[in-house]
Amino acid sequence: MEHEATQLEKQHVHSVYENTAAYFSDLQTKAWPRVRNFLLEQKPGSLVVDIGCGTGKYLSVNSQVYNLGCDYCEGLVEIAKKKGDEVLVCDNLNLPFRDQCFNAVISIGVIHHFSTKQRRIKAIKEMARILTPGGQIMIYVWAMEQKNRHFEKQDVFVPWNKALCSRHFSESNQSGDKGEFVHSAKGQDIHPAQLVISECSYQNNLQPEADSKHPRSMDHCLPTACCMKISEEENRFYSALGRSFRSWFFSRSLDESALRKQSDKMKHLKREGVWANSAVPIQHSRHCSLDLGHHGALLNEQSLDDDDEVFVESLSLKKPQWSPATDALKDLSLNGGHPSAAQSKGDKASFINGPVEDKDCVCDCNKDGAGKSDASKFFKRTSTTDSTDSALDSALSVGEQTDAMLDTKAFMRYYHVFREGELSSLVEENVPELQILSSCYDHGNWCIIAERRG
Amino acid sequence: MKLLTHNLLSSHVPGLRPGGGFPLRIEAAEVRVRPVPFNAAFVSRLVPRLRWDALREAAESLPPEPTPGYEADEEFLRRLHHVLLEVEVLEGSLQCPDSGRRFPISRGVPNLLLSEDEA
């Protein structure tokens, strides 16, 4: 499981950040107020570290303290260094700091990238270890509960869109014209400059499971369009990403996979509280384990290396890239759509499930009738939740719809989104050295502040 | 990498004896000195947080120990300030004193990642 976890994170966290780091220097996002305040409240002369600092957004908030930043991604750290920050490259799971040396630690949008519960716990424990007694930590993670969108599952793959990070994007947010957007049709090149940002209303998609069988009658924009409502307030990297997502890729979490394996073998399974209480059903057909072998689900290794090609060219995915996935799915469907059986072969033959769910389409923009029908056709196919053949259908329909589907050359980034109370419970039950002082919901994130017990 | 940062770093190679891995031995190929505005209160507050012996090893210009009343000793604080904040190692490596494992410093950034096999 550790190996699978590291592979998943390597492919869908580290590699993505490394390959997209160059675009981050353009991205001027505001520091989040609560985080700023937390930093500003630290006493002068404090030693403060930002674990997962990225480009160092928070490292210059409080000049009265010593700010150190670290990140796994060399590319991002380099950017921070150029800004004059004191930074280093390291692993959250193995922090190269002596015990109890920091007065404050911040972890903003980081631990949701860890793919298993144990790793998330380890990350928090490491951060607690380096805190001096009485020192405080602030943790921000992406919330499952979102205002305008519904995460159906907690383990998601999210495409990264260059347009979000480019200068063109942030400059073009002047347009307030509803419904005016440029979407990419098959075969057309897409340049960030061509994407006009418009004001869109988002689907409020808190539909119960049962309804998802019925195709939406509402208009959907083509999944490829990137439409975002940008206001000053919203111009934050994470929430910006969240709004722009046109498709969600859900995977069975590695924890779930492990559990399923066990339950297949054993009658009695001691389930951890989280799973036992989880309201999210384990769905058989649609949610397949992430392929962790070299049949990288949507992207093979090559596409990740060639940045230019990925971002300048059009959206068409070459067929060969799909074959491993569809092969994998054939395996799955042969096994009656039960990923666990496929998994028992060992890491092959699994696939990210049907990507686009109608409930997660983010836009109401519907200028293009043709796009609409494509989209709704597509949505129809993937909207069923319990038909066992839908997994294969999804793959095929995705294969056919690759051009229209999404910016498939976008890097897929893994997130485990947190339910309400999950982060607190995680700390309370597993990290006794920390005492939670407060928790809140802030712009789509769960946030806690905890203190190292002395 | 500033020497204050170095003072906080510890090797995390697995299997070290308790308390092992600190301090990392600096092998500096390129060093630069850059002025930083002096803030006496700031430096003074850092003193209790420091592992003094490790700092001395890194910078031999310091006295054997901070003497009582250092808070008011501006000359001492300035010297300390210089050592902690104005000296940067740009190129070189940090060596774990117990395992011998070296971590590179490049363009001022130390890389302390362990490989998957090591971790």
Question: Over the stretch A206-254, which tens digit does the pLDDT of each residue have?
Answer: 333 333 344 443 333 333 333 333 344 444 554 444 444 444 556 666 7
Interatomic CA distance for residues A237 and B72, integer angstroms: 45
8 Å CB contact between B8 and A47: yes
Q: Are strands A131-142 and A102-108 parallel, antiparallel or unpaired?
A: parallel
8 Å CB contact between B13 and A95: no
Whether B119 has its CB under 8 Å from any CB of chain A: the answer is: yes
Q: Residue count of chain B, please give it.
A: 119
Which residues does A245 contact at the CB level (< 8 Å), separation at least 6?
A: A149, A158, A159, A360, A362
* Least confident piece of the model among A297-301, B45-49, B57-61: A297-301
DSSP string over A75-136: HHHHHHHHTT-EEEE-BTTB--B-TT-EEEEEEES-GGG-SSHHHHHHHHHHHHHTEEEEEE
pLDDT of residue A125: 98
Structure tokens belonging to residue A235: 């111009």
Q: Do B113 and A72 touch (CB under 8 A)?
A: yes
CB atoms within 10 A of CB B86: 16
pLDDT of residue A165: 54
Q: What are the C-alpha distances in Å from A374 to residues A362, A364, A448, B64? A: 16, 15, 43, 76
Query: What's the whole-number mean pLDDT along residues B42-51?
Result: 94
Whether A64 has its CB under 8 Å from any CB of chain B: the answer is: yes
Q: What angle do CA A256, A397, A158 make, to 5 degrees?
A: 45
Q: Do A44 and B45 touch (CB under 8 A)?
A: yes
Bond from prior residue into A192 cis (ω within 30 degrees of 0): no
8 Å CB contact between A195 and A182: yes
Q: Residue count of chain A, please give it.
A: 454
> How many Cβ contacts (< 8 angstroms) between chains A and B?
76
Amino acid making up residue A150: H
Query: What's the whole-number mean pLDDT along residues B33-60?
Result: 92
Q: Chain A: give the shortest CA distance to residue B61, in Å.
A: 22
Strands (E), B59-99: 87-95
Q: Do B109 and A45 touch (CB under 8 A)?
A: no
Q: Do A47 and B49 touch (CB under 8 A)?
A: yes
8 Å CB contact between A135 and A105: yes
pLDDT of residue A265: 59
Q: Do A47 and B10 touch (CB under 8 A)?
A: no
Whether A43 has its CB under 8 Å from any CB of chain B: the answer is: yes
Interatomic CA distance for residues A86 and B26, integer angstroms: 17
8 Å CB contact between B112 and B9: yes
Q: Where are the domains of chain B?
A: 3-113
Which residues does A209 contact at the CB level (< 8 Å), separation at least 6?
A: A281, A385
Residues in A touching B22 (Cβ below 8 Å) = 98
Name the strands in the sheet holding B102-106, side by side, starting at the edge strand that comes first in the sequence: B25-33, B87-95, B102-106, B109-110
pLDDT of residue A200: 28
CB crowding B56-73: b at 16 or more within 10 Å, else e = bebbeebeeebeeebeeb
Q: What angle do CA B28, B30, B35 make, to 5 degrees?
A: 105
CB crowding A323-355: b at 16 or more within 10 Å, else e = ebbbebbbbbbebebbbbbbbeeebbbbbbbbb
Q: Are strands A412-416 and A434-442 parallel, antiparallel or unpaired?
A: unpaired
8 Å CB contact between A46 and A67: no
8 Å CB contact between A117 and A426: yes
Residue with tokens 């090797």: B11
Q: Specify the 3-state DSSP secondary structure of B78.
A: helix
Residue of chain B whose alpha carbon sits nearest to that of A78: B109
Residues in B touching A97 (Cβ below 8 Å) = 8-10
Q: What angle do CA A221, A222, A225 make, to 5 degrees?
A: 90
Which residues does A409 contact at the CB level (< 8 Å), separation at least 6?
A: A299, A303, A309, A310, A311, A313, A315, A317
Interatomic CA distance for residues B11 and A351, integer angstroms: 39
pLDDT of residue A437: 97
Whether A5 has its CB under 8 Å from any CB of chain B: the answer is: no
Residues in B touching A95 (Cβ below 8 Å) = 12
Rounded to two decimals, what is the model's pTM? 0.63
Whether B92 has its CB under 8 Å from any CB of chain A: the answer is: no
Amino acid making up residue A63: S
Identify the band that residue B61 occupies on the pLDDT scale cut at 50, 70 and 90: low
Q: Which of residues 61-80 of B touch A (CB under 8 A)?
A: none
CATH number 3.20.20.70 is the correct assignment for the domain at A1-25+32-165+410-452? no
End-to-end CA distance of chain B: 24
Interatomic CA distance for residues A233 and A184, integer angstroms: 28
Interatomic CA distance for residues A434 and A427, integer angstroms: 7
Identify which of B1, B108, B116 has the shortest CB distance to residue A6: B116
Which comes out higher in pLDDT, residue B90 or A18?
B90
Quick check: B38 pLDDT over 80?
yes
Mean pLDDT by 10 residues, chain A (454 residues): 86 85 65 93 96 95 96 95 96 96 97 95 97 98 88 86 50 33 32 30 34 39 32 45 49 67 57 38 34 33 30 32 37 38 35 33 37 37 35 35 44 91 96 97 95 94
Which of B2, B6, B9, B81 would best serve as a mutation to test chain A binding (most A beta carbons within 10 A)? Answer: B9
Sign of the alpha-carbon dihedral angle for B75, B79, B82, B85:
negative
Q: What angle do CA A345, A346, A348 make, to 5 degrees?
A: 90
Sign of the alpha-carbon dihedral angle for B104, B110, B112, B117:
negative
Identify the band that residue B65 occupies on the pLDDT scale cut at 50, 70 and 90: confident
pLDDT of residue A386: 36
Whether B114 has its CB under 8 Å from any CB of chain A: the answer is: yes
Which of B49, B55, B83 would best serve as a mutation to test chain A binding (most A beta carbons within 10 A)? Answer: B49
Whether B116 has its CB under 8 Å from any CB of chain A: the answer is: yes
CB atoms within 10 A of CB A187: 9
Mean pLDDT over each residue of chain B, to the nearest integer: 92
Residue of chain A whose alpha carbon sits nearest to that of B44: A45
The closest alpha carbon to A249, from A412, A109, A363, belongs to A412
Structure tokens belonging to residue B81: 């300030």
Whether B31 has its CB under 8 Å from any CB of chain A: the answer is: no
Q: Specify the 3-state DSSP secondary structure of A447.
A: strand
What is this model's ipTM? 0.92
Q: Do B111 and A74 touch (CB under 8 A)?
A: yes
State in words which class domain B3-113 has.
Answer: mainly beta
Whether A90 has its CB under 8 Å from any CB of chain B: the answer is: yes
